[in-house]
Structures are given as C-alpha cells and as structure tokens.
Structure 1
Amino acid sequence: MNMLKIRKVVATVVLAVGTFSFVGCAAKTNTTPGSDSKGVKKESQVKSKDNSIKHATKFNVEYLDNGVKLVTDGADRKLLLVPKEGKKPEGYDDIPVIKTPIDNALLCSSIHTSLIRPLDVFDSVGGVTTYDVDKGHIDEINERMKKGSITYVGKNTALDYELIKAKKPEVAFIISTDVAKLGAKFEELGIPYVVESSSLESHPLGRMEWIKFMSLFYNKEAEADKYLQKAEDTVKRVSEKTKGKDKPVVTAGVIHDGKFSIRLGGSYQSKMYDIAGGDYTFKDFESDKTGASSITFEEFYAKSTNADIYVFEGMGKSRPETIKEFVNQAPIIENMKSIQNGELWSSQPWWSQSVDKLDEIIEDLAAIFYPEEFKGHEVRHYYKVAK
C-alpha cells in the first residue's frame, strides 16, 4: 500500500471515531427544564446558583434569565418566581408560578413574622394565623392588626377559609408540619402555598438564612445578605471570645405531659449552646437529628444533675417566676447543681418570635455562660429566674 492510500485510510478511521464519540456523548445528554429533547438550551436556563447560602440545607434558589428564580422550598417543591411584568419561561409547564414582588401574603406561623422583619415588608401582609395581639411580640404586626390592615383568619387547626378566600392572598406561607392539613385546601382554593422549614435546620445561621428565602419573594436579596452578614460577624466574634475557655455544662428542657422535652443533639439549639461556649448535656443524644424528643424525669435528672446552668426555653406564655415554682412541677430536679446554685435562666416571651435575632440570642447565652468575659453586655432574650 502506497503512502497516499495509507493517509486516506487513517483519515477515514479518525472521522469515524470522532463521529461515534460525538453521537455517544449526545446520547448521554440529560435534558432539564428549559432544554429541548436534544439538550439544547432555550431562552430561560439556569444562569447561576446562589452561593451566598452557607448554612441552610432545606431550600435552594437558581437564577434564570429575565429576573426569574427557580426556588426549591422546604418540602422540596419547585416554584417559579416571575417578575410581575415578566412571563413564565418555556420548559417549566408543571411548575407553579408566583409573581414578584408579592403584595398580599398570608402568614401561617408567627415564625414568618420574624423572618420578614429585617426586610421591612409588613405592608404586604394581609392575613395571619396563630397570632393575636395578646401573645404577639412584633410591634409592626400588632399595629397593623389593630388598624385592620392585617386580618386574623383563625388558628391553623380551624381556619376561616371563607375569610381567607375573600382576602385573596397571592401566596400562603406554611410550615412543614402543616403541609398535609393545609396544602391540599389551599390548592383547592387556588392559592399558591410555600413551605418554610427553618426549624429543621441544624445550624442557627442556617435557620436565619430563611430570611433570604423570604426575601426571594420580595426581590430583596441584597437587604437579606447585608443583615445575614451582620449576624455572621456577631457569631464569629462570640466564638473567638469563648475559644479555649473551660466550658460550663449546660442543660435545657421543658416539662410537657409528664416528661421533659429536650432538643436533640443535631438541632440548631444544640449548636447555639456550642457556639456560645457551652457543653450541652444532650449533644450526643440523636446527634444526627433535628427537633426535640421526650424523656422521663429520671432520665433528665441523671443526665443533668451536674450541669452548671439550666436554660429554660419556654414557648407561649407559661414561664417560671421563681425556682421554687419550677421545682414544684418536677421535684426530682431540686438537688441539681444548677438549681441549687440559682442558675436557672428562662427565655423571654418574645424568644420564639425572634428567629431573625438568633445571633443576639447566641451572644446572650455566651454572656450567661461567661459573665466575666461579657461585662457590660445586657442580656435581653433571657432572664435569671428568682430563687
């Protein structure tokens, strides 16, 4: 075979291999919303993911073209946030659309009222549930409820759906545990709903980052980022100040239905005690899970008897005025070190409505744990229970 024929054979083989490789790669191309069957990008494709979300794991956002955002909420549901003057992009036919910024929201948890506080969008709230002026601790909500611009539509267990329908909310924010009982009803009424799951986060700053989640619906990400950076700086400062110190042993629990309810080792509260420089007695109790669990009085006492500090994180209105009153509920705790030394600290009534202030709460805890290191710091979110 002469040299010319050899070159022709080689060229033919190279061309064939290259064609095979191209076809093989094309066959493996994954199509996504916004792509046609060949994987070719259409007008609105993912441009970028939000890399500013550092700690939250229960939501996500991807930025598309033309100001459109593809959001994954706390129930792993996809939502398209489209500017009011914009249109829904092609390729996302099965994904619900919410026009932004929203002007008429229904908040189905008092948690949501604190998550929107840094955004200053209270005028967008048309209705609330499980919140009334008597137990509410957010002035901006209370004032609007008194004036009538925010309507109370009932408890989540007995909502006034006729009233909700008449208020015509653009979106209803619900928590993850209410999806089963509220989600289907809102769908029936034609009201888009969004699931907020900040309580399932394992890091307090992750829970605070749900401020960013709420900001997506108002196009106020810049405001949220600035606020969250301040919180990050506070937590970093506290961590540096308590680093290398001898950690006080800290216990926490509330009495409920004849047992103690404690925060699990994987909860954001457990992480708060750790960041503040405390050694939480239940840090190894189901450390891979968030939320709370119930244990017997005897189990709580055995684990907490030598704790230096007792933190009572009460919900609602019920809080101890004296240590004696608290001990009467569970006499077994009377001889605990923290009780004997008068180191029982209770959360203030507004504590549960201060998700946007977890950085302040961490600093309060650090001041309780290390009073000598935080001289001059005024503890705001807790009070020392009188003997």
Structure 2
Amino acid sequence: MKKRIAAVILSMVLGAGMLAGCGQKNTTDAGASSTTEVSADAEKADSAATDNKEEDADANVLEDGTYSVNVELSGGTGRATVDSPATVTVTDGQATATIVWSSTHYDYMIVDGEKYLNENEGGNSTFTFPIDGVPCEMDVVGDTTAMSTPHEIDYTLTFSFPTEVSFNDLNSEGRMNLSYADQFSVEQYGAYKLVTIVDGGRFLLVPKGASVPTDVPSNIVVLQQPLNDVYLVSSAVMDLVSKAGALSHISFTGTKEKDWYVQEAADAMKAGTLTYAGKYSAPDYELLLSNNCQFAIENTMITHNPEVKEKLEELGIPVMIERSSYEKHPLGRLEWIRLFGVLFNREQQANEFFKEQAERIQPILEKENTGLSVAFFAVSSDGTITVRKPNDYVSSMIELAGGNYSLNGYLPEEDSALSTMKMQMEDFYVAEKDADILIYNGTIEGELTSVDELIKKNSLFADFKAVKSGQVYTTGSNFYQQTSMTCDFIEDLNKVLTGSDDTDYHFLKHIQ
C-alpha cells in the first residue's frame, strides 16, 4: 500500500513538473521557485530548438529565380534514372522542380500525397512539382507502365548544389534568348550563370547554397547571391530594378531624393531604406564599407573616373558597368530588366514585364510609316543645340512609332560612347526648319512651357515649319529616368504622328 501511495505522489510531482515545463506555473509550495526556473530553462531550450529549426529551414530556401541543381534518384530496381542537373524555379518563395526520367513509361508521380501527371506525351516522362528547397531529400512514388500491369514504385529524390566544383569542369548549358538587347548575355553553367557585358567584363553568379567554383579565371568576377546592400549609381536603370521587384536589394544611390523621378526610389529614400552615398565620381567609401555594400552598378560615366572603379574594387566592392544606353533598339534598352531579374533573382517578374510591354506595342510596330519627320533636341545655355545621333535609341523610337528622325542622313552614324552631339544653331536651322514635328528634350535644361519661350531662346525658331503649324511638344524632366516606360513614349509619339484625338500623353506635352 505504501508503495502504491509513493507511486501516486511521484506521478503527481512529475506531472506538475511536466505541466510547468509547458509554460504553466506551479505555485503550490516553496518549491515553486525551483520549478519555475526549470520551466524557464525548458522554455529557453524549446526556443533555441525552434530557432535552430527555423535556421535549418531557411538554409535551403532560395531567392526567387531559376536554378540548375543536381538531383539523384535512389530506390526501385536501380535501372531508372532522372536527368541531372534539373531545373528548379522559385516563385514567391515556393520552389518547384522539373524532373525528366530516362524512360517514357512513367504516367504519374505521387509527391506529398499529390498526384502529378506526365507532361511530355511521347517523350521521356516529365513532371513538375513543389519541393522544400535546395538541398532537400524527398520520398516519391513513380507509376511505371513498362511492365505487364502498371506498378507504383517507391523512390527517393535528393536535390543539392555541388559541394566542390572546378570552373574548368563547367559546360555551357544554354544562353538566355534575348529578343532585342545585344549589350549583355547570360549563360547557364550548371547551378551557375555567367553574365557578359560588352566591353564591361564577365560575372559568375553563384546562387545561395552553392559553393564558389575553384579555378575561376582572374578576369571573371564572382558574385555570390543574394546580392544585397547594392550601390546603384546608374539612375536610368533604377526604374527597371524597381519594376523587377528588386528595389529591396538596393541600399545606396548616387542620386539625391529631390532629383528622383522614380517614385519608388524617392519613397525608399524618404523611408530611410535607400541612402545617398555620393555621386559616381565621389562615392562615400566609408559609408559603403561600414554598411557592408556588396556590389556597385555604374553607368559608362564611370569610365571618365577609372580611379573610382579601381578604389571600389580595391575595397572589395565589385563593379558592373551597365550599357543599356548603348542599345540601338529601344526594346533592347528595356530588355535590360531581364538582366536585373537574373542578378536579383526576380527572373519571372522581369520576364513577364518585358513580354507584356513588347506585346503591347506590337500593333504600332506593324503600322506603315507616316512619312512625317520629327526633330528631337534641346537648347543649351550657351545657345548650341543638343541632338540625338541617328543611331540612338530615341531616334529609333521615333522610327518605330511611324515617323522619320529628321537628322537621319544629315549626320554620319558614329559608334562613339556619347549618344548626343552639339550643333550650332545655323546648322540646326538648315537641317530641321522643315521638320513636321519638333520635340523639345526637357531632361537637359528643363521642359518648355510655351512656344514663345522657345523663340526667346533663339528667334530663328519662329521660321520653323512645326512652329508655324503648331506641332511643338516637350518632354517632361522625368523622361530619362523612367526607362520602364519606353513603350509609353512610343505610344505618345504614335498618337502625335497619326493625329490621334487621344491626347492623354505619358511624357509629351503639346505647347502653344
């Protein structure tokens, strides 16, 4: 009887202790303090275990993007295999894998209780399904029809990045299919992507979880993703980065808040998530270093200050010089959004945006040319005229919209870095006085408010055909920065050229 009583008492004590360990207080006696301490220790241990689990879970979570990863198949008879590497696509944090079998006889797979049907009728069986990330191991079922009757067979798939790899052993598995851009390329090398910028170097992108290959040539810059705390100096591409959904990766800029026409960038500076770190020629090195800047994106202006690029690289901040302004086709300039999608693991969003924009203006591109000539210019403070060269993307937009750039054939095409050139007013008058439409570039000296203001800059403008016929327009100061709206500008031009009643312009203003 005594033993039974002792057992009951012991069970009650243990029970109280267990309840206290689950977060309930025990205040029945003087031992409460000791029990509470044990409870607190237990809670700390549980919290630490939870944190460790979260860290383990985060370890295989990839940024949005497309990856090429190793996959191994085990189980079954050992005769079936799957193609490796496999493609893993991450969208909104959810990874999906596409698996291609060595056989045509698998009609479905079961993964986490869900049934997935073969996507490749007549070819090797192909399935796409969710996975936890990389690395991960998962049990699956494959149903094969190769036998006299269908059989479900248990397999295990193991996804991983290579732990040790030499760059010399990597082979190109394909190149990004670009529609218009010719100033960059992206090649897939297993789990890695190799970005090449024309006259701007090569960059090897190493995805999160993958090891840096050995034997990488010295002329290739290694960039380990995710790329965060980036110094984006090229204001012309901030809009593209923002539309790709990657603004959160940018921490530093070379443009002050008051000078932004990209609203998302201005809002980020106001919120304190984007900081001015000095213009391209005089960056705040101390600020960048103390805040762990990982990467800098410059435009070609940096070539005038090569010592700045050298200093950034010396401090361990790799530099990429973007050349979107060198694209002769306007949609080529817009297509740089796809490169930023690759850099910041936002490929799907970037590709969808570009595709939507390109399809949107396709009807305009298919129309016949109107035969009308268009002059695009600005008057500098010294009285000279700044014009775009015939091979510039602005002159190309005029052509795509159905007009003729009035300086085509008048100026020689050049391949120099600058897309603009200066003309004396007398020469400009001879070349442009009969242009059907005048468009004033408001990004240089500010937009015009009236035709009288234009004539005040030089009285010769009063004799221009477009001035007399009332066909004078100005762009806003936002024109240069809002690169994502290339198609909007082409639409504006087409409305002007076709005499559309729709005067709801995005960039142009008709001035009287």
Q: TM-score, normalised by structure 1?
A: 0.83
Helix, strand or coil at the partner of 1:157: coil
Comparing 174-183 with 114-123, greater Cα deviation is found at: 174-183
Q: Match of 1:97?
A: 222
Structure 2 Cα separation of the partners of residues 74 and 199 of structure 1: 12
Distance 1:74 1:142 in 2: 31
The amino acid of 1:128's aligned partner reads: T
Gaps of 5+ in 2: 1-165
Q: Which residues of 2 match residues 198-217 of structure 1 at below 5 A?
A: 198-217=324-343
**Out of 67, 72, 81, which is 2:196 matched to?**
72
Query: Contact 2:364 / 2:401 at 8 angstroms: preserved in 1?
Result: yes
Partner of 2:482: 354
Aligned equivalent of 1:261: 386
Select 1:197's aligned residue among 317, 323, 337. Answer: 323
Contact residue 239 and residue 484 of structure 2 kept, 8 A: yes
CA distance in 1, matches of 2:288, 2:469: 51
Question: Is residue 248 of structure 2 the alignment partner of residue 120 of structure 1?
Answer: no
By how many angstroms is 1:225 displaced? 1.6
CA distance in 2, matches of 1:259, 1:317: 12
8 Å Cα contact 2:281-2:308 kept in structure 1: no
8 Å contact from structure 1 (residues 75, 176) kept in 2: no
CA distance in 2 between partners of 1:321 and 1:156 (Å): 32
Q: Distance in 2 between matches of 1:132 and 1:322?
A: 29
Deviation at 1:299, TM superposition (A): 0.9
More strand by share: 2
Structure scoring higher RCO (CA < 8 A, sep ≥ 6) equals: 1
Determine the structure 2 residue equivalent to 1:298. 426
Matched residue type, 1:259: T
Work out whether residues 378 and 445 of structure 2, in 8 Å CA contact, stay in contact via their aligned partners in 1.
no
**Whole-Å Cα distance in 1 between the matches of residues 292 and 237 of structure 2?**
19
Secondary structure of the residue aligned to 1:212 is helix
For residues 463 and 375 of structure 2, the distance between their equivalents in structure 1, rounded to whole angstroms, comes to: 14
Corresponding residue number in structure 1 for 2:289: 165
How do residues 24-63 of structure 1 correspond to structure 2 at under 5 angstroms? 34-35=167-168, 42=169, 44-51=170-177, 53-63=178-188
The 1:197–1:276 alpha-carbon spacing in structure 2 relative to 1, beyond 3 Å, is: same
State whether residues 267 and 289 of structure 1, in contact with CA within 8 Å, keep that contact through their aligned partners in structure 2. Answer: no
**Which residue of structure 2 aligns with residue 225 of structure 1?**
351
Q: Determine whether 1:87 maps to 2:211.
A: yes
CA distance in 2, matches of 1:121, 1:304: 42
Distance in 1, Cα, partners of 2:334 & 2:503:
22
Mapped partners of 2:325, 2:211: distance in 1: 33
Hey, what's the Cα distance between the residues in 2 that align with 1:110 and 1:82? 26
Q: Deviations over 1:214-238 (max 9, x none)?
A: 1111122222221111121123111
Aligned to 1:248: 372
By how many angstroms is 1:371 displaced? 2.3
Distance 2:198 2:324 in 1: 8
Instruction: Please give the secondary structure, in 2, of the residue aligned with 1:143.
Output: helix
- Partners of 2:289 and 2:198 in 1: CA distance: 24
Deviates more, 1:323-332 or 1:174-183: 174-183
Q: 1:138 aligns with which of 252, 262, 272?
A: 262
User: Equivalent residue for 2:300?
Assistant: 176
- Cα offset, 1:153, TM superposition: 1.2
CA distance in 1, matches of 2:339, 2:317: 19
Cα deviation per residue 1:2-52 (whole Å; 9 max; x = unaligned)? xxxxxxxxxxxxxxxxxxxxxxxxxxxxxxx944xxxxxx2x22111112x
Comparing 158-167 and 338-347, the one that deviates more: 158-167
Cα shift readout 1:295-350 (whole Å, capped 9, x = no counterpart): 11011111111111101122256121111112211222221011122211111121
Picking from 460, 477, 482, the partner of 1:332 is 460
For the residues of structure 1 that align with 2:330 and 2:474, how far apart are their CA atoms?
19
Is the alpha carbon distance of 1:146 and 1:316 closer, same or farther for their aligned partners in structure 2, counting shifts above 3 Å? farther
1:364–1:217 CA distance, 2 compared to 1 (3 A): same
C-alpha distance 85-168 of structure 1, shift in aligned 2 (>3 A): same
Q: Identity, % of aligned pairs?
A: 25
Q: Summarize deviations over 1:127-185 as a string: whole Å, max 9, x none.
A: 100x2222212222112211211111122233222222222211100002213243112
The equivalent of 2:276 in structure 1 is: 152
Q: Which amino acid aligns with 2:261?
A: H
Answer yes or no: is the 8 Å Cα contact 1:204–1:272 preserved in 2: yes
**1:164/1:354 Cα in 2 relative to 1: closer, same or farther (>3 Å)?**
same
Aligned to 2:231: 106
Query: Larger Cα Rg: Structure 1 or Structure 2?
Result: 2
Call closer, same or farther: CA 1:49–1:89 in 2, change over 3 Å.
same
Which residue type is aligned with residue 321 of structure 2? Answer: V
What is the CA–CA distance in structure 1 between the aligned matches of 2:457 and 2:230, rounded to whole Å? 41
Change in Cα spacing, 1:166 to 1:101, as seen in structure 2 (3 Å) is same
Contact 2:379 2:445 in 1 (8 A): no
CA distance in 2, matches of 1:91, 1:50: 24
Decide whether the 8 Å contact of 2:280 with 2:298 is kept in 1.
no
Q: Provide the rounded CA distance (Å) in 1 between the counterparts of 2:476 and 2:404.
A: 22
| Counterpart-to-counterpart distance in 2, 1:365 and 1:346 | 11
Q: Secondary structure of the residue that 2:259 maps to in structure 1?
A: coil
Which one has a larger percent helix, Structure 1 or Structure 2?
A: 1
User: Are the aligned partners of 1:306 and 1:337 in contact in 2 as well (CA < 8 Å)?
Assistant: yes
After superposing the two structures, state which structure 1 stretch, 253-262 or 280-289, moved more.
280-289
What's the CA shift for 1:84?
2.2
1:302 alignment partner AA: V
Q: Give how far 1:377 is off.
A: 5.8
